Amino acid sequence: MAEFALIDLIRDRCALSRADVRVGIGDDAAIVAMPAGHELAIATDTLVAGVHFPPGTRARDLGWKALAVNLSDLAAMGATPAWALLALTLPDADRGFVEEFAGGFAELAALHGVALVGGDTTRGPLAVTVTVHGFVPPGGALRRDGAGVGDQVFVTGTLGDAAAALRCLDRRDARAAALFEAPADTRERLRERLDRPQPRVAAGNALRGFASACIDVSDGLLADLGHVAAGSGVGIAIEAARLPASPALLTLFDAGERLALQAAGGDDYELAFCVPDVHVAGMQRDLARVGGGATRIGRVVAGEGVRLLDGEGCAIALAHAGWDHFA
């Protein structure tokens, strides 16, 4: 299949029409109209085969995830997504693959009203880069540098499921064989969290005006909160017992394994954020209004770094603190 036939196929599936797209796929550049009185939030993220997704990941899930991880970055800024670019590097022009990929991308794009307005298509080892653009009211973006001592720390959803799904797949992991004996629907629920993360866009929007700092959990809770602590010049104390776990995680893992997955696993795409006491009730009310919720997991403290505490307030050391590509 020729390059332009692939691009046509992608456009047919993904170029959702938006009134603010003046020129979409098909010219040298896209032309879009900014809504008056807003700032633009821009983010990009790449998924590389074997690094960001396991071999055998379905093309449909890959299309979804490539957009989801980017929308998660906009969610963490409190932005409303609008436009996306897609740079696809494919080993060959496989029509079936591109159809499925575009189908998964389009499914999530439609849920968030995102129009694909351009991209690039090249041949090489499978890799996907998506760039997203969204709007925020001036000065209203949620950042990493605003946490204050005394703020409460929250996280949306549950943690550790995606990392647990990866463990189920790891053939070198002695526990994997035992995990494979788990009921199929339990394993599938974990796998769904890995393959189809749900970007918390509505939650991110609801947090504007309440959260002092926010980040999406992609590399692992402790590692990502470390960026908030460093950016804000504070420390963060997390109570291990408060970390939210899904029923699947609770059934399959003992407390020690579970904690490692929740605190350091990564790929959760939940939002971790800080809220001053005075704003906690408002935040909870507005999150509930958009059908979301959050669990309080700790406090911002004076000092630096992120500490994980047991029931007695003693620091817990984990073997791996989070994901680092170059470590």
| Chain residues that interact with Mg ion, rule: CB under 5 A | 120
Under the binding rule (CB under 6 A), the answer on residue 28 touching ligand ADP is: yes
Under the binding rule (CB under 6 A), the answer on residue 46 touching ligand ADP is: no
Under the binding rule (CB under 6 A), the answer on residue 234 touching ligand ADP is: no
Q: Is 290 helix (H, G, I), strand (E, B) or coil?
A: coil
CB of 225 closer than 8 Å to CB of 272 = yes
On the 0-12 / 13-18 / 19+ scale of CB atoms within 10 A, 95 is exposed
User: What is the smallest separation between the CB atom of 262 and Mg ion, expressed in angstroms?
Assistant: 42
Whole-number Å distance between alpha carbons of 28 and 11:
15
Whole-number Å distance between alpha carbons of 15 and 13:
6
Residue nearest to Mg ion (CB): 120
Under the binding rule (CB under 6 A), the answer on residue 306 touching ligand ADP is: no
Cα–chain center distance at 279: 24
User: What is the smallest separation between the CB atom of 215 and Mg ion, expressed in angstroms?
Assistant: 32
Neighbours of 207 (CB within 10 A): 28
Residue 7 contact among Mg ion, ligand ADP, none, beta carbon within 5 to 8 Å by kind: ligand ADP
Closest CA to 235 of 304, 297, 154: 304
Cβ neighbours for 321, distance < 8 A, ≥ 6 positions apart? 220, 222, 223, 226, 264
CB of 264 closer than 8 Å to CB of 225 = no
Under the binding rule (CB under 6 A), the answer on residue 10 touching ligand ADP is: yes
Options 74-82, 118-126, 178-186, 267-275: segment touching ligand ADP (CB under 6 A): 118-126
Under the binding rule (CB under 6 A), the answer on residue 118 touching ligand ADP is: yes
Whole-number Å distance between alpha carbons of 45 and 23:
24
CB of 117 closer than 8 Å to CB of 82 = no
Under the binding rule (CB under 6 A), the answer on residue 115 touching ligand ADP is: no
Residue 220 contact among ligand ADP, Mg ion, none, beta carbon within 5 to 8 Å by kind: none
Under the binding rule (CB under 6 A), the answer on residue 119 touching ligand ADP is: yes
Under the binding rule (CB under 6 A), the answer on residue 47 touching ligand ADP is: no
On the 0-12 / 13-18 / 19+ scale of CB atoms within 10 A, 202 is middle
Residue 27 contact among ligand ADP, Mg ion, none, beta carbon within 5 to 8 Å by kind: ligand ADP
Binding mask 58-97 for ligand ADP (x = CB under 6 A): ----------------------------x-x---------
User: What is the smallest separation between the CB atom of 8 and ligand ADP, expressed in angstroms?
Assistant: 9
Whole-number Å distance between alpha carbons of 290 and 155:
15
Count of residues touching ligand ADP (by CB under 6 A): 13
Whole-number Å distance between alpha carbons of 73 and 142:
11
Residue 26 contact among ligand ADP, Mg ion, none, beta carbon within 5 to 8 Å by kind: ligand ADP
Options 73-81, 111-119, 135-143, 164-172: segment touching ligand ADP (CB under 6 A): 111-119
Whole-number Å distance between alpha carbons of 118 and 69:
18
For ligand ADP, the closer of residues 6 and 243 by Cβ is 6
Identified binder of ligand ADP from the candidate list 121, 188, 202, 318, rule CB under 6 A: 121
Binding mask 179-208 for ligand ADP (x = CB under 6 A): ------------------------------
Ramachandran quadrant class, 50 (left: phi over 0; alpha: psi -120 to 50; beta: rest): left
Under the binding rule (CB under 6 A), the answer on residue 120 touching ligand ADP is: yes
Q: In the complex, which residues of this chain contact ligand ADP (CB under 6 A)? A: 7, 10, 25-28, 86, 88, 116, 118-121
